[in-house]
Each structure stands twice: as structure tokens, then as C-alpha cells.
């Protein structure tokens, strides 16, 4: 069930308040986005290093595409931030897993 406040403007409905469902969807958008980039990098034999390469503009576009509704600017920004945060977390996990695989045994914990 969507618990969002909406206002009718002309024939369009603009969502003015995000819901748990919207926040969950934004998080899923970010996770899927990161997975898409990680798979692409790996397929291209590129390293997953550095900071998350995605932008807020991309996050807004992806959130809007997922939710299929008009959102007030503040709501869209908040949801895009959730998507970016989830994507960044997934990206960092992928980056760390690659570094752990490449670490020499002499650098492993418990080794001298």
C-alpha cells in the first residue's frame, strides 16, 4: 500500500511525500544500478576501484523510471540520495571483495 500525499495539478498527480514503498524501491534501484555497473566493468575487464561513479542526475532518472509517477523535487532528491547510498554501498563491497582476492598471503591477517 502506498502511503503518499499527492496533489492533482492539471491531469497529473504529483507525489509530495515519500512512503516506505518508495524508499524501498529507491534502495532497490541503487542496488540494481551498482550491480549493472559492476557486471559491466567485470565484463570489460575493468577494475572496480575508487569512488562510486554514478551521479545524482542518473539517480533521479532511474528513480523516476522505476516509480512511474511525478514527484516533488524534494521527494525526488531524497529518493535519489537513497538510491546513490545503496549503489555506493554495493560498489564498495564489490571493490573490497576484489582487493581481498588480490591480497598476497603474506598480507593476510594472522600471517607474519
Whole-angstrom distance, CA of residue 66 vs CA of residue 55:
17
Global confidence as pTM: 0.75
Q: Where do the domains of the chain lie?
A: 23-101
Predicted local distance difference test score (pLDDT) of residue 102: 58
Give strand pairing partners of 12: 9
Residue 13, phi then psi, degrees to nearest 5: -110, 125
Answer whether residue 96 shows pLDDT above 50: yes
At 12, the pLDDT band (50, 70, 90 cuts) reads low
Amino acid at each position: 500500500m502506498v502511503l503518499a500525499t499527492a496533489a492533482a495539478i492539471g491531469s497529473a498527480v504529483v507525489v509530495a511525500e515519500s512512503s516506505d514503498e518508495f524508499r524501498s524501491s529507491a534502495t532497490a534501484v541503487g542496488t540494481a544500478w551498482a550491480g549493472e555497473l559492476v557486471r559491466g566493468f567485470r565484463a570489460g575487464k575493468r577494475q572496480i576501484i575508487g569512488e562510486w561513479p554514478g551521479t545524482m542526475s542518473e539517480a533521479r532518472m532511474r528513480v523516476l523510471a522505476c516509480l512511474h509517477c511525478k514527484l516533488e523535487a524534494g521527494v525526488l532528491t531524497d529518493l535519489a540520495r537513497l538510491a546513490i547510498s545503496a549503489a555506493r554501498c554495493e560498489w564498495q563491497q564489490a571493490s573490497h571483495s576484489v582487493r581481498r582476492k588480490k591480497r598476497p598471503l603474506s598480507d593476510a591477517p594472522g600471517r607474519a
